Amino acid sequence: MRLKNMRRFASLTYACILLLTGCASAPQREAINHAEDLKTADGYTLIGKKDFWRDYTPTDSSGNITVVVEIPAGTNAKWEVDKATGQLKWEFKQEKPRIVAYLGYPGNYGMIPRTILPKEQGGDGDPLDVIVIAPAVPRGSIVKARPIGVLKLLDGGEQDDKIIAVLPDSPLSGVSSLDELQREFKGITDILEIWFSNYKGPGKMESKGFAGAAEARDIINDSVADYEQKFSTAQ
């Protein structure tokens, strides 16, 4: 009986050690899921070869957009490009690294460099967001994607649109419009609207519906022009 109790105590002790060390190392484990060429300043900051917001061109001659992947598909850790430093940082909320309390992101979430939705024009003051529908891409990756539409959202009354894009070498690479996406891959647009309308909790986000590739490109071009107008003189 004594030997049995000792074994049970040892097993419980080992389980507690695993639990405690697992909790302590969670930020480090999350930080591993990033592009190989990034430097890890700490468990909460990733530094690229360039400033993620300022040093990449937003579009190319083929009509593709440049996307900095902040949150890989299927994950919940809320990382974002810090506008002050141009680095990727894990957002903190109530003094803890933020984990979105919902299902994992339904695509690779990121931003377009050298863009902004100005607050004085009803935006949120941040770069233009993108959801790239594709298998998970490591955090901090710089990818070229083709915009096919936009999910128009309001966050606390501020414009918080999400450009919808596909990767050229992904299973959805042949999709060129939202109509085609809805026809060939039923349910994806429903998933996107439901997810973004609810991930912050009831009533926090308001969906204004979808618009096609032409309006998406207008929003992209406007956000690039607003960035240039706001920052080109200073830079």
**β-pairing, 162-166 with 108-111?**
unpaired
In the block, tokens 């003051």 appear at 125
Contacts of residue 73, Cβ cutoff 8 Å, sequence gap at least 6: 104, 105, 106, 107, 108, 109, 134, 135, 136, 137
User: What would the pLDDT profile of 109-125 be if each residue is shown by its tens digit?
Assistant: 999 999 999 999 999 99
Does any domain span residue 44?
yes
Does any domain span residue 26?
no
35 falls in which pLDDT band (50, 70, 90)? confident
Does any domain span residue 16?
no
Write down the mean pLDDT value for the chain.
87
Does any domain span residue 9?
no
Does any domain span residue 153?
yes
Instruction: Quote the number of domains for the chain.
Output: 1
User: What would the pLDDT profile of 179-206 be if each residue is shown by its tens digit?
Assistant: 999 999 999 999 999 999 999 999 999 9
How many other C-beta atoms are found inside a 10 Å radius of the C-beta of residue 47? 17
Does any domain span residue 98?
yes
Q: What percent of the chain has pLDDT over 70?
A: 85
Asked whether the predicted pLDDT for residue 14 surpasses 60, the reply is: no
SS3 168: coil
pLDDT confidence of residue 22: 34
Does any domain span residue 17?
no
pLDDT confidence of residue 15: 35
How many other C-beta atoms are found inside a 10 Å radius of the C-beta of residue 66? 20
User: What would the pLDDT profile of 42-99 be if each residue is shown by its tens digit?
Assistant: 889 999 999 999 999 999 999 999 999 999 999 999 999 999 999 999 999 999 999 9
Of residues 194, 131, 119, 195, the one with CA closest to residue 157? 119
CATH number for the domain spanning 113: value is 3.90.80.10
CB-based contact 73:135 (threshold 8 Å): yes
CA distance 186 to 42: 41
Of residues 85, 153, 162, the one with CA closest to residue 129? 162
**Which tokens hold the place of 179?**
């109509």
Domain of 65, in residue numbers:
32-231
Sign, CA torsion 190/191/192/195: positive
Does any domain span residue 14?
no
Burial class (CB in 10 A: 0-12, 13-18, 19+), 209: exposed
For residue 3, what is the enclosing H or E element?
A: helix 2-24
pLDDT confidence of residue 233: 60
